[in-house]
Amino acid sequence: MSITQQHVLDTYRAQQFGRPAPPAPGAHDWQVVREWRDHRAFQAVVAERPARGRLRHALGRWLHPRPRSTS
């Protein structure tokens, strides 16, 4: 059964019992992504790591390595 078919069945059952229809599939995806991002930032702060720009900083070091100084 696909997710669309399951949603239609759930909507039908809710209507039969006089309950509100469930949200459409994917209706809250962006909210979940935001909450996941906030949780990751919180975990970084708790672990005493920078909370923002970690990926960009790592890619910058990889793409633009600093020349080693010869002593």
2-14 pLDDT per residue, tens: 989 999 999 999 9
pLDDT number for residue 21: 93
- 30, 34, 37, 42: CA torsion to nearest 10: -160
Q: On the CB side of 30, how many CA atoms lie within 13 Å of its CA?
A: 1
Residue 16 lies in a domain: yes
Residue 69 lies in a domain: no
CB atoms within 10 A of CB 45: 12
Residue 70 lies in a domain: no
Residue 71 lies in a domain: no
15-71 pLDDT per residue, tens: 999 999 998 888 888 999 999 989 988 898 898 887 777 677 777 888 888 877 766
Residue 37 lies in a domain: yes
The owner of tokens 């039969």 is: 16
Residue 21 lies in a domain: yes
Count of structural domains within the chain: 1
Residue 31 lies in a domain: yes
